[in-house]
Amino acid sequence: MKINILGAEWDLEFSNYFVDERLKDYAGYTDDTIRKIVVDTGEGRSICENYEHFRKQTIRHEIIHAYMYESGLSDSWEHKTGQDETTVDWFAVQFPKLLKTFQEADAL
């Protein structure tokens, strides 16, 4: 599917580690060189008990990476593999709660 990240069109795809070797060690990844996000379907292995929750959190996580890239922040993190995963995870986990609070406060 196509998604909009700060005005840029990105591909969001679902695959598994049988098809995409990069998913062997990761639940998903963001390739900013071709504006593509890939998320593991979990096919052929048990990642966790509640895969749907995990899948959505992984999608949010990778979308945040894409937002950081499109906003020019991707090279600003001091991290050996790019962006700080702790910060990205925090946003991915907390975003549904933030959205609810923003909606309750009529802040959107």
37-85 pLDDT, tens digit per residue, is 999 988 766 667 888 888 889 999 999 989 888 888 777 665 555 567 8
Two structure tokens written together for 40: 């593991």
CB 23 within 8 A of CB 17: yes
What pLDDT, on a 0 to 100 scale, did the predictor assign at position 37? 95
Residue 81 belongs to domain spanning:
2-104
State how far the Cα of 22 lies from the Cα of 26, in Å rounded to an integer: 7
Average pLDDT of the chain to the nearest whole number? 86
The pLDDT of residue 30 is: 94
How far apart are alpha carbons 106 and 73 in whole angstroms?
Answer: 28
> Distance between CA 46 and CA 66 in Å, rounded?
27
Residue 48: which CATH number?
A: 1.10.10
Which pLDDT value is given to residue 38? 97
Total number of domains in the chain: 1
What was the pLDDT predicted at 83? 61
Span 81-92, average pLDDT: 77
DSSP track, 50-91: -HHHHHHHHHHHHHHHHHHHHTT-TTSS--TTSS-HHHHHHH
CA 85 distance to own-chain centroid: 11
